[in-house]
Each structure stands twice: as C-alpha cells, then as structure tokens.
Homo-oligomer: A and B are copies of this chain.
Amino acid sequence: MYMKIEFWSDVICPYCGLMEHRLKRALERFPHAAHVRVVHRSIQLHPDLPRTGVTQRRLFDLAGMPRATGERTLRAIETAAHAEGLTPYHALDRTLGPTDLAHQLLAYATEQGRGDEAWSAIFRAHFGQARNLWTANEVLDFAAEIGLDRAEAEQALRSRRFLAQVTDDQREAERLGSRGAPFLVLDRTYAIPGAVDTDDLLAAITRAWREKNADPVPLTALADEDGICAPDGCAVPGDA
C-alpha cells in the first residue's frame, strides 16, 4: 500500500515554504509515512522577472496592489511561519526573481536522490536568508553548498535536460485545476489547493489513505486475462 503526494510549489512562494514544513510535520505524525512518497513538482509564479530580481514591495507596485495590503498578507504568513519555528522567515523583505534555473537544479537533485532535501534547503535559503537564486551562479553556489556536484549540476542546467519536465509540471498542475501554489494532490484523487494547517493536512492525508485502502479503485481491464503465469503455471491465450 502506497500513497503518492505530489506537491507543486515555487521557490519564491511564501505559502509553499510553509506548506513544505507542514507536510514534513504531518508525515512525522502519520503512521504509514514509510509508505508515502512525496514528489515535488514545479510551478513558476513569476517567470518574467529580470534575473537581477525585484523586491517584493516593488512587485506589489507592478501588480497594482496597494503596499499596505500586500504587506499585511505577507506579515501574516511570516507570523504563522515564526509560530511554527521557521525563524526568520523573510516573506516581505526579500528580492524575487525567475525560478526556471532553480527548478531545473531541483529536478537534477531529485534525479540524484536528493530532491526532498534540496527542496527543504532551497526554501530555507530563500525565506530564511532572503537568498537570491535566479542566476546560474546563484543556483550553482547553492547546489555546491548542499553537497551536489557543481560541475554536474552546471552541465544539467547548460544542457537544459530538465527544462521540459519543469514546464510539463506546470502544465499538469493547470490541467488538474491549480490556480496557484502550493497545490497538493494525493494519489491523483484529492487536491489541497493552497495552504492548510498541519492538523488539516494530516486529516486530509489520513482520509485519502483510508479511502484508498478501504475501497480500491476499480481498474478497467484493457485485455483478457490471458497469457498469464500464476503459481500453478502459465496459461496460453486461447486455452480453455
């Protein structure tokens, strides 16, 4: 019995860093966590920002949002993050940029079996230290710091071999109904579109697990049960 949790997020999305933390906490309390596989997927909220970055306050202006409104929202997220031990959590006093390279680096880290760790670390770097991770150099410095092979990571970015996957991730989220990040999908059956607290997240995971295991999804057979080997031998198609 398995459960797959797909977690779409963006490096610069303050609710995403918070949900990543809550997902870890929820799984610590989930008795079947050893059978849960978390798959991180990519969403880019601001692909068109300049690589030099734009401050969050300037971004409010660009989005036509009154600074007071934007600040109130982000301070509320910071307060929630602090209450859960994420201190500091720079949702407001930071610079945002395009995350295409960061996502490709994270896909490379995942291929190396280090995805979970790399996602946690990149949220800590961005929200904990207000780090910029928009240029290849910034991303590769981060890669080296978390123990990835810098030359290999550079090759992964240069070859763009993870670009299609990163782009596909976003298209897939949209197809599944996402209108932003974070976006969690449990076993392709349940969606959690946006941040919820750890208790609610654990309740959702528990519900999805129970329903899955109580009532298996009936599969549609696309072929007869022929040409099959069982403990008592193999059967050839057409045999009675």
Q: Contact residues of A with B, CB < 8 Å?
A: 1-2, 10, 13-16, 34-35, 45-46, 60, 63, 65, 70, 72-74, 76-77, 111, 113, 164, 168, 171-172, 175-177, 179-182, 185-196, 200, 204, 207-208, 216-237, 239
Q: What are 14 inter-chain pairs, A to B, with CB distance below 8 A?
A: A1-B172, A2-B172, A35-B168, A70-B233, A111-B113, A176-B216, A176-B219, A188-B188, A188-B217, A191-B219, A195-B226, A196-B223, A204-B222, A204-B223
Minimum C-beta distance from A31 to chain B (A): 14
Q: Is the CB of A15 within 8 A of B220?
A: no
B contact residues around A191 at 8 Å (CB): 219-222
- Rounded to whole angstroms, the CA-CA distance of A180 and B236 in the bound complex is 13
Selected contact of A234 from candidates B73, B168, B220, B236, CB within 8 Å: B73
Selected contact of A224 from candidates B73, B194, B229, CB within 8 Å: B194
So how many copies of this chain end up in the complex? 2
> Which one of A182, A187, A233 has the greatest number of beta carbons of chain B within 10 Å?
A233
Q: Is the CB of A77 within 8 A of B217?
A: no
B contact residues around A2 at 8 Å (CB): 168, 172
Minimum C-beta distance from A33 to chain B (A): 13
Q: A226-B195, A228-B179, A233-B70 are in contact. Are A220 and B190 (CB under 8 A)?
A: yes
Apart from A46-B231, A192-B222, A208-B222, what are 18 other A-B pairs with CB-CB below 8 Å? A1-B175, A13-B234, A45-B230, A60-B233, A65-B232, A73-B235, A77-B236, A175-B216, A177-B218, A179-B228, A181-B228, A181-B230, A188-B188, A188-B219, A192-B223, A194-B224, A194-B228, A194-B235
Q: Is the CB of A13 within 8 A of B181?
A: no
Q: Is the CB of A182 within 8 A of B15?
A: no
- Rounded to whole angstroms, the CA-CA distance of A187 and B70 in the bound complex is 41
Q: Is the CB of B229 within 8 A of A14?
A: yes
Selected contact of A232 from candidates B63, B111, B181, CB within 8 Å: B63
B contact residues around A72 at 8 Å (CB): 236
